[in-house]
């Protein structure tokens, strides 16, 4: 027996079943769906705890039922205190010898749409496993009957298409005896590979984030494994915490990336994707024009210089912009993998690295939080972890001083020294819950916060004073002189970084002794150290000084490492190491010309150029994707099916091409497939946040889908 509270009232019920993530309460006075509920329970003689949750389905007895019939509620737990989790674990251990299902079931509640007779019905799951689900419904489907259904999981763009066979049916009387809702036990059959992978990944996340007290993986990362078990941010933070040095290989659907890691910090990322070249990145960021890129590629094919040096010499961008672009470009190549929920990884220890790579001061924490906010839907994060507005967050650690994270994160952590609910944090920070949940998730997997259910947030705690919106102060003449001096030093150091050579940065020869390198490092650092950087009012200067500090530290650490110093000593000229890329350079130039023809609607010319390029480079699917769009533009009705297939193959080959995503969304719009259009436009915007046309198209596709769904209901 339990006495629960919610909606401003108290009532009694019977707790019939429970797990780490949910419970079923039989009661004559169920709360409405969506209501927040508090359930005090006693787990042993000494421990009374209070469980917080939300009602996800609710039923009351019908008038014609017998007097003893009772209604009930399915309750999804926000998350549970460790005492409760230990209690559930103890119960499971006691039952470990009893017969049990092959797959563990999670009591999660998701909408399911399926057809029964001539009607399309919407019901809810009561539990879910990799092998099947229990569907709470009064429909009389018989054991052995097959159903096709769409399982909707919050935060996943498209429903999971499942086919199942009714294994058993519980009518109202049987359900009451078992303390369950009436419904059907459905065993999944013939799931396609995509549906199986998505379902398996979702349940793996539930196992990680709901069944563990830490709500995250804490074990050492194995030498190799699957991305369905380890998300990319978990790999990034795991290797950082273990201070590993080596090469991380990540593969997915023909795409390969190599992440070179030094003492846990990624320092360089190689990618086999056309869209992840430096030139393409600079165009996306608006640093250079497509014409600049075309011109620089022509010179690159004939020159011994690196691509960045060519652009600086040509006046397309300056040295500070190039140095910062190098860092951000490699960070983007890494964070674009955050959405990979399938594929494999392998870690090779050591520094047996090719001499063509550079070593860059990438910021793993900055990459992690940026990638999570960009790629992980807040609703899906809430489902994984059981987070809602009443979940309390408690700080357990602080980030390193050089983490490089947004200022809002240290502010959240300081506020959470006393547990704070998501709702209160959202109000105090003037940050929406959708913006806040990805930040909380990142702090959980980084080990900086935990979900706290031992106490509700302490409203008596002293108010934290924000420092995010300080008013700028007027500069004194002395401050202006300091800023001018700092700007001159910054320009000098970034100029030395044009070729990303650390010897040039320190102004020493490659045979310099350790003492000479140390002295040069101290000279560079000491002049900045003579001024309090945090007191600099010019944000741009302050950030650039911090960037220079990062470069100097990385250069000093690298040249003191015997293995990495050897790597630098055998750096070869571009002409000797990049001859293999000349065909790719020529292909890129041809594509740029064809894309310009597409934009100017010279379709026949574009088709001729792309057809020739596809014959010269038949293995390159990106060319096929752009050709598909040109053919569709030429004759939409005839070529829509063929173009869709060609674009799907191209996107599979290069998932980072925002333009191909946009084209595929446009064809989906033409075919009135609004949900698919939304998915592709959303991906295009995530890959290229300033892609205005994709943002407009995304809003339109969303409006069309909502309008169509409302029309169906009426």
Listed range (56-65, 229-238, 431-440) with the worst mean pLDDT:
56-65
- What tokens appear for 327 in the block? 């860092």
Reported confidence tier of residue 578, pLDDT bands at 50, 70, 90: very low
Helix axes 364-375, 319-335, angle to 10 degrees: 60
Residue 473 pLDDT exceeds 80: no
Q: In what order do the strands lie in the sheet with 265-271?
A: 224-226, 344-349, 246-252, 255-262, 265-271
Residue 106, strand partner residues: 128
Q: How many Cα atoms within 13 Å fall on the side-chain side of residue 644?
A: 16
Q: Residues of 607-620 as b/e, b for ≥16 C-beta within 10 angstroms?
A: bebbeebbeebeeb
C-alpha distance across the termini of the chain, in Å: 43
- CA angle centred on 205, ends 201 and 207, rounded to 5°: 115
CA-to-CA separations, 626 to 74, 279, 503, 660, in angstroms, rounded: 50, 19, 43, 7
Reported confidence tier of residue 574, pLDDT bands at 50, 70, 90: very low
Q: Which backbone phi and psi does 656 adopt, to 5 degrees? A: -95, 5
Q: Which backbone phi and psi does 667 adopt, to 5 degrees? A: -65, -40
Q: HEC string of 516-544?
A: HHHHHHHHHHHHHHCCCHHHCCCHHHHHH
pLDDT score of 443: 97
**pLDDT tens, residue by residue, 126-157:** 888 888 999 888 888 888 888 889 998 877 77
Reported confidence tier of residue 86, pLDDT bands at 50, 70, 90: confident
Give CA–CA dist 564/90, Å, rounded: 51
Give me the residue label for tokens 């990319």: 232
Contact at 8 Å (CB) between 160 and 147? Answer: no
Q: HEC string of 354-409?
A: CCCCCCCCCCHHHHHHHHHHHHCCHHHHHHHHCCCCCCEEEECCCCCCCCCCCCHH
Alpha-carbon torsion, ordered 296, 302, 304, 308, to 10 deg = 10
- Beta carbons within 10 angstroms of residue 450's beta carbon: 22
Contact at 8 Å (CB) between 309 and 499? Answer: yes
**pLDDT tens, residue by residue, 15-30:** 877 887 788 888 888 9
Listed range (353-362, 433-442, 577-586) with the worst mean pLDDT:
577-586
pLDDT score of 66: 44
pLDDT score of 638: 93
CA-to-CA separations, 555 to 249, 330, 501, 510, 517, in angstroms, rounded: 24, 17, 9, 13, 10
Give CA–CA dist 213/79, Å, rounded: 10
Give CA–CA dist 586/571, Å, rounded: 25
**Mean pLDDT over residues 395-404, rounded?**
89
**Mean pLDDT over residues 470-490, rounded?**
66
């Amino acid at each position: 027996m339990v006495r629960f509270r919610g909606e401003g009232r108290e009532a009694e019920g019977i707790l019939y079943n429970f797990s780490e993530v949910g419970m079923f309460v039989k009661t004559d006075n169920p709360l409405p769906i969506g209501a927040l509920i508090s359930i005090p329970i006693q787990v042993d003689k000494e421990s009374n705890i209070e469980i917080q949750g939300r009602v996800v389905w609710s039923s009351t007895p019908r008038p014609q039922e017998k007097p003893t019939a009772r209604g009930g509620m399915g309750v999804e737990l926000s998350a549970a205190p460790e005492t409760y989790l230990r209690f559930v674990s103890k119960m499971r251990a006691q039952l470990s010898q009893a017969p049990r299902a092959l797959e563990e079931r999670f009591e999660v509640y998701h909408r399911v749409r399926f057809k029964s007779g001539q009607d399309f019905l919407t019901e809810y799951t009561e539990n879910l496993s990799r092998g099947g689900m229990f569907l709470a419904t009064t429909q009389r489907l018989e054991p052995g009957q097959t159903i096709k259904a769409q399982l909707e999981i919050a935060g996943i763009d498209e429903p999971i298409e499942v086919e199942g066979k009714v294994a058993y049916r519980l009518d109202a009387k049987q359900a009451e005896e078992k303390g369950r809702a009436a419904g059907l036990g459905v065993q999944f059959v013939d799931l396609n590979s995509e549906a199986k992978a998505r379902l398996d990944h979702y349940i793996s996340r539930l196992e990680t984030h709901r069944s563990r007290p830490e709500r995250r993986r804490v074990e050492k990362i194995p030498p190799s494994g699957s991305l369905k078990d380890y998300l990319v941010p978990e790999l990034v933070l795991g290797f950082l915490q273990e201070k590993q040095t080596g090469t991380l290989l990540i593969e997915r659907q023909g795409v390969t990336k190599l992440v070179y890691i030094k003492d846990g910090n990624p320092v360089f990322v190689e990618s086999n994707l056309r869209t992840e070249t430096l030139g393409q990145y600079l165009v996306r960021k608006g640093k250079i024009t497509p014409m600049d890129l075309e011109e620089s590629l022509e010179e690159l094919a004939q020159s011994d210089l690196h691509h960045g040096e060519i652009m600086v010499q040509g006046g397309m961008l300056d040295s500070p912009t190039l140095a910062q672009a190098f860092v951000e470009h490699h960070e983007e190549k890494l964070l674009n993998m955050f959405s990979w929920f399938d594929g494999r990884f392998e870690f090779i220890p050591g520094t047996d690295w090719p001499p063509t790579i550079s070593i860059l001061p990438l910021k793993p924490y900055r990459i992690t939080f940026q990638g999570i906010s960009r790629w992980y839907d807040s609703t899906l994060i809430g489902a994984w972890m059981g987070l809602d507005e009443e979940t309390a967050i408690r700080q357990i650690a602080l980030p390193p001083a050089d983490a490089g994270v947004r200022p809002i994160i240290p502010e959240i952590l300081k506020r959470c020294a006393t547990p704070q609910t998501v709702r209160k944090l959202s109000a105090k920070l003037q940050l929406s819950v959708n913006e806040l949940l990805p930040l909380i998730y990142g702090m959980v997997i980084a080990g900086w916060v935990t979900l706290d259910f031992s106490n509700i947030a302490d409203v008596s705690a002293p108010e934290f004073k924000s420092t995010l919106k300080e008013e700028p102060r007027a500069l004194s003449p002395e401050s202006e002189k300091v800023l001018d001096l700092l700007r001159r030093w910054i320009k000098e150091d970034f100029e030395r970084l044009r070729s990303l050579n650390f010897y040039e940065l320190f102004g020493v020869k490659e045979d310099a002794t350790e003492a000479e390198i140390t002295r040069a490092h101290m000279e560079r650092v000491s002049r900045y150290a003579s001024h309090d950087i945090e007191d600099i009012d010019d944000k741009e200067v302050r950030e650039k000084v911090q960037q220079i500090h990062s470069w100097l530290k990385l250069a000093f650490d690298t040249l003191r490492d015997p293995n990495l110093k050897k790597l630098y000593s055998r750096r070869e000229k571009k002409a000797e190491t990049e001859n293999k890329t000349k065909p790719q350079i020529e292909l890129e130039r041809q594509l740029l010309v064809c894309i310009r023809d597409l934009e100017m609607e010279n379709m026949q010319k574009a088709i001729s150029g792309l057809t020739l390029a596809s014959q010269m480079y038949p293995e390159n699917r990106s060319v096929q994707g752009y050709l598909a769009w040109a053919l569709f533009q030429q004759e939409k009705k005839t070529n829509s099916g063929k173009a869709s297939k060609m674009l799907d193959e191209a996107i599979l080959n290069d998932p980072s091409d925002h333009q191909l995503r946009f084209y595929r969304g446009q064809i989906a719009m033409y075919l009135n497939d609004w949900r698919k259009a939304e998915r592709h436009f959303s991906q295009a915007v995530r890959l290229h946040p300033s892609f205005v046309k994709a943002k407009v198209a995304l809003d339109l596709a969303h409006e069309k889908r909502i309008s169509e769904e409302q029309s169906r209901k009426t």
